Amino acid sequence: MNNAGTLSGVEDCLFLNIWTPYLPGKSASPKNLKPVLFWIHGGGLTQGSANEPAADGGMFSSRGDVVFVAIHYRLGNLGWLGINNVTVPSGEGNGNYGLGDMQTALQWVKENINYFGGDKNKVTIMGESGGAIAVRALLASKKSKGLVSGAIIQSGAWGAPPEKGEIEYISLQKSVATLAGDIVTRLGCGNLDILDKLACLRRLSTHRIGLSAYANYPLVDSRLLTGSLSTTGKGPGYTVPVPILLGIVRDDMGPFTSMLYGTTNIQDYFDMIGPLLLSEDVSHLAQNPIFSAPPTVDAAEAAFNISTRIMTDYCFTCLTWSTGYSLAKHKVVPSVYMYEFNRTYMLPFWSPLPCNPPQTAEKPLGDFSKEYYKCHTGELPYTFGTMGYMGMPDRDNGGDTVFMQWMLDLWASFVRTGNPNPDKGFLEARGYLNTISKVEEEGEWKKAVGNTGAKDVRLMQLEGAVMKTYSELEQCEAMGMELEYYE
């Protein structure tokens, strides 16, 4: 489904894009095989493509010395709609088809990636937004064990309906009762037994199935998923025990709230956007002084600032911090590295005004000495190294380029080793002088320890990329999403 709400593309989408810096010959040594990055595109599990230019894998593969694999997978109702009250071994009618596509692709990678120069035992899964939700689900599935060696979760937590279902998975039975029945009835396939419903749905065109009502969250189907991600190692659920890198962009919700940018009525944001994104009405929080806007802004800016902050905390920040905190505290995985981007570069086709540094006569491409909103997806041109490929000029006298190189090198280091601190010998051998300088200036990215006052989070900006404490803790507590939410 595209941004206009109409279905596009095809159902026959089970393809992989592969970039590799190395094709081994028949006599090549297995020691020369490269680590693999397995990319899952975003789009809320209802839209997007592995062909998106912002996530082209060429630069990451070449500069990072890794094999880059990007997956197409089934989306929306085709990928996630469960209509069967009973889990069956075949999975028919049980939903989670998109998740099954990903695991099938990971199994293919395990069996075949060596032919493309990749090491089947070093596969890091990575996703942003909807793709990050998918990475979290893969980590919660026992069927992923042995297929994954690391995970990167970018802007993935989502406190949205139903019942935070993107991260705290509801049962197949409940989803059938609350969502699937309505969708199947709209499609003219209601009041039939399960086999007849399946047959009825299979007769429909792909475009007919793409209703405005859709499924876009994993289900506890007792087949691929037996529960949500176990962040404490206790109770139901599971976590594949691999190193994890996760974090947010500071104002993640900015592009979504920007559609109302300019209104002075803060309630408009919650009335028009809230029902689409939030699982409860949180408009009362706008009256809480802990969400107050800077005193220097006008009424329109204040309305945007407060609503964006509340929705960002609700949908992204709070539960990201809670996840990383508990994983680290209980040592559920070998290591957790956390970040918050405070520098972004919005994609050319999605670049709302408040998400860009203000333009001045002296700095027409943006004045980075002034504050601006750091918005969802704005880290992608940096972590993928695709500024040049996208035709995005350096706005900051070389600052954007240095930051992009540095970020790609940190991410690629994590793919190669499970640690985002690059090996100096690797950087020197390849002449990555800018990154060498930044690593020396900014120091080590330390793994999280899971203490409430710990400096567990790396602030991602060109200067002063310090380790810092968790942001917005008081605000998260006001929402009932405190740091110890999963404890």
CA-nearest of 372, 307, 329 to 234 is 329
DSSP 8-state code for residue 119: E
468 burial (CB, 10 Å; 0-12 / 13-18 / 19+) is: middle
First CA to last CA across the chain, in angstroms? 37
Q: How many CB atoms lie within 10 A of CB 441?
A: 11
Distance CA 138, CA 103 (A): 8
Cα distances (Å, whole numbers) of residue 380 to 127, 346, 351: 11, 8, 13
The phi, psi pair for 468, rounded to 5°, reads -135, 170
Known catalytic membership, residue 129? yes
Strand spans (E) along 42-111: 67-71
CB 222 within 8 A of CB 213: no
Distance CA 409, CA 143 (A): 30
Residues 6+ apart with CB under 8 A from 67: 18, 19, 20, 21, 22, 34, 35, 36, 37, 61, 113, 116, 117, 118
Candidate list 8, 61, 62, 129, residue with the active-site label: 129
CA-nearest of 436, 351, 345, 430 to 395 is 345
Q: Which helix (H) or strand (E) holds 110?
A: helix 97-112
CA-nearest of 348, 460, 472 to 54 is 348
Which contacts of 353-362 are long-range, i.e. CB under 8 A and separated by 24 or more positions?
Answer: 353/258, 353/261, 354/254, 354/258, 354/261, 354/304, 355/251, 355/254, 355/255, 355/258, 357/395
**Which amino acid, 392?**
M
Q: How many CB atoms lie within 10 A of CB 233?
A: 16
Residues 6+ apart with CB under 8 A from 340: 247, 248, 249, 250, 457, 458, 459, 460, 468, 471
Geometric angle at alpha carbon 381, from 376 and 383, rounded to 5°: 90
The residue assigned the tokens 């289900």 is 219
Q: How many CB atoms lie within 10 A of CB 262?
A: 12
CB 145 within 8 A of CB 193: no
Strand pairing of 244-249 and 219-220?
unpaired
Catalytic site positions: 129
